[in-house]
Amino acid sequence: MATDHRRSQKKNAKGAFFFFTATLIMWAVSVFFEILFNNRTELLPLVFGFFLYQFSNWVCRNFISRDPLLVNTCVSLLHSSLTSASVVFILVKQLASNGVSELLEHSQLVNATWPWAYSALCVSCGYFAYDQLDMLLYGLYSGWIPSILLHHFILLGCFTLALYRNVTINYLILTLICELHSIFLHVRKVRRMAGIRDGKNKLVKIEWCLNIGTFLLARLLSHVLITVKLVKDASKFEKGVELPLALFGMAGMNLLNVFLGIDLLNAFKKEINRHNSHES
């Protein structure tokens, strides 16, 4: 029985590997076609982002640890930190210049592009391609339809099409506010891999407060508000793929956020229960 279950898991993982590898190859061919044949040199930061995080992977693997999961987590932490800093910088700069009302105006979010926003989105898109490849190469996923691979698949599709058409760039920058929460997700992973799992530890308690707080505000609430904004301004979109693609992407993100929230709650309960059982 257990053997059959393991065989089924391997078969599912193999199916996921081939599907997501094929989509990643198609994505890479598409990007290089745009750069080389359509002379879309503005997409070069995307390639830079991919190699930046691939180089970071090499540095971690050679100087920190050869554990694929730890290396992947460290590079993900670097991405979350850099992306959060970029997004905060872009938004603060825009708020100082134009204020909240103009920042959230429909034409600004859909047709305009804030300074540095296009390059920041390209670099982040390059990271998602790198991370997808790293997870596929080292088998850092499980299940027939792994949520993490599906997450990257949705992001790569939405981000790349937006970059090709140069629309909704600012909307996507707003969605990247969730990387503030990702910082604490990755910090928790590194902390647990380092063997620090004591729920009584003050730093662990602070980390959990920041983890749950940024999940609720920077990820869950921000994505819900962006979805509401899209629905409210639906009539302002021109006919085309922009609105359906944006709604599809946000629906996928909100669904994944629900699953992530459940996982976080279960992890929190498990860690607290372990601490209570040790005390008794």
Domain ranges of the chain: 2-279
Contact 108, 170 (CB under 8 A): yes
* 219: CB partners within 8 A, 6+ apart: 177, 178, 180, 181, 257, 260
Q: 125-157: per-residue pLDDT in tens?
A: 999 999 999 999 999 988 777 888 988 998 899
* Distance of alpha carbon 199 from the chain centroid: 27
* Residue 5: band (very low, low, confident or very high) from pLDDT cuts 50, 70, 90: very low
Query: Of the candidates 210, 181, 231, 232, which has an alpha carbon nearest to the alpha carbon of residue 77?
Result: 181
Q: Which two tokens stand for residue 156?
A: 């790569």
Model pLDDT, residue 7: 47
* Distance of alpha carbon 164 from the chain centroid: 19
The C-alpha angle with vertex 76 and arms to 72 and 79, in degrees rounded to 5, equals 145
pLDDT above 60 (res 98): yes
State the burial class of residue 200 (Cβ atoms within 10 Å of its Cβ: 0-12, 13-18, 19+).
exposed
Query: Of the candidates 23, 131, 121, which has an alpha carbon nearest to the alpha carbon of residue 69?
Result: 131
Query: Of the candidates 144, 146, 174, 140, which has an alpha carbon nearest to the alpha carbon of residue 158?
Result: 174
Give mean pLDDT, residues 258-266. Answer: 92
Q: 54-78: per-residue pLDDT in tens?
A: 999 999 999 999 999 999 999 999 9
Percent of the chain with pLDDT over 90: 70
Whole-angstrom Cα distance, residue 274 to residue 47? 44
Contact 160, 31 (CB under 8 A): yes
Q: 178-223: per-residue pLDDT in tens?
A: 999 999 999 999 998 988 877 777 888 899 999 999 999 999 999 9
Residue 143 has what DSSP assignment?
S
